[in-house]
Amino acid sequence: MPQPDDIPKRVASVMEDPSALAVARVYADAFLNAAGGNVDGALEEFTSFLDDVLKTFPDFEAVLLSGFFSRDEKVRLIDAVVGRFGSETFTSFLRVLARHERLELLPLILRDCWIQHEIRQGKRRVQVRSAVALPAATLEKIRQELNRKLPFEPIVEPSVDPSLLGGIVIQVGDTVYDDSLRNRMKQLRARLRHRSLHEIQRGRARFASDEPSNI
């Protein structure tokens, strides 16, 4: 049986698997649809299960993710532990994941649930990277500017990347707006390189035209 210390590593590897992300998105969509008009409550229960139950009782999580217990045994455990206190919607959802051996996807499914829920509300997450942490007032100005220009309400997610040297990088989905100092230096270097090659070519052409013709 996997030890509790091994769980974060296994979950992290799943979180980085593109195929796992695609599967998690299907389950997340199904969970939101099953929640009906109580999506906020369902997400709160889902979040509480990961934060307050699995993190507090790592042995319980280890059993759910173990390959030594059958699917039926895991379903019975879910009924005994979660079914007593959780909603039927969430308990049934865990049963489905257990029967399909997808319980390792729980963190990924929850993350995608929040993203899809935000999209359904006309919101989307926008990553803002900077060389140093930006003050709250600056982030709010960026959010307001993005709100004016984008067709949805942005949820700004700031992060620090010292390699940028200065400026910011804004990413909306697969689109990246790079106004970092590092990118500007790369562009300047490319322009200087292009100019140098152009001058060399002009010099060669001038040299060739000045050579005496062989008669």
DSSP per-residue letters across 54-104 = ITT-HHHHHHHH-SSS-HHHHHHHHHHHTTTTS-HHHHHHHHHHHHTT-GG
Question: Does 71 have pLDDT greater than 90?
Answer: yes
Task: Give the model's pLDDT for residue 179.
Answer: 74
Please indicate whether residue 28 or residue 17 has the higher confidence score (pLDDT). Answer: 28
Supply the pTM of this predicted model: 0.69
Chain mean pLDDT for the chain: 85
Confidence of residue 6 (pLDDT cuts 50, 70, 90): low
CA distance linking residue 170 with residue 126, whole number of Å: 7
Per the model's pLDDT, the better-predicted residue between 208 and 187 turns out to be 187
Topology, domain 4-118: Peroxidase; domain 1 (1.10.520)
- In the chain, where does the domain assigned CATH 1.10.520.20 lie? 4-118
